[in-house]
Amino acid sequence: MTKIFKLLTLLIPVVALMSCGKTATTIVSEKELTGKWQLESVVENNDTTYRPAVKNGMYDVSVTFKDKGELEATSSTNYLTGFYETAQLNAIHVGGDGTERKETSWGNLFVNALPQVNMYDLKSNNRLVLFYNNDSQLIFTRSR
């Protein structure tokens, strides 16, 4: 009986340590994503829509990935808040809520695509690509 007790007292802390925390990949990915990203173009069905000229802040579509999985976004005319969660192999899940009042077609592209995002790719030239609907992309540049 004492042998089993000793074995359990050694085994329980090891199992607890193995089951806690995130993988190194997730932590690194979140740090790389952290910051503000400006939407430059949207690709749907091999058709690319580029960002319209910014006038009085209008059409300034961006997403800010914050620490601890929080995000803030601005569409062409509205403000959104939510969360994001990354996993290994560049998987990402995004969710949140906001308004869609007086949204422009450019803003609608972003607002409708964001909840469908399931993968991301960070490029070496400060570009972020969020993939959705298997063949569509939101392409961002890092904001300064």
**pLDDT tens digits along 103-141:** 888 888 888 898 899 999 998 889 999 999 988 999 999
Q: How far apart are CA 68 and CA 83, in angstroms?
A: 9
Contacts 24+ apart (CB under 8 A), 138-142: 138/39, 138/42, 138/110, 138/113, 138/114, 139/39, 139/40, 139/41, 139/42, 139/43, 140/37, 140/38, 140/39, 140/40, 140/62, 140/63, 141/37, 141/38, 141/40, 142/35, 142/36, 142/37, 142/38
The architecture in CATH of the region 23-142 reads Beta Barrel (2.40)
Q: For the chain, what are the domain ranges?
A: 23-142
Nearest CA to 44 among 113, 141, 91, 142?
A: 113
- pLDDT tens sequence across 27-62: 344 568 899 999 999 999 888 998 887 776 666 899
Q: What SS3 state is found at 77?
A: coil
Across residues 60-75, what is the average pLDDT? 90
What pLDDT is stored for residue 112 in this prediction?
87
- Which band of pLDDT confidence, cut at 50, 70 and 90, is reported for residue 22? very low
What pLDDT is stored for residue 30 in this prediction?
58
Residue 23 clears pLDDT 70, i.e. is over it: no
Residue 2 clears pLDDT 80, i.e. is over it: no
Spell out the residues 6+ positions from residue 44 whose beta carbon is closer than 8 angstroms to its own: 109, 133, 135, 136
What pLDDT is stored for residue 66 in this prediction?
92
Across residues 56-78, what is the average pLDDT? 85
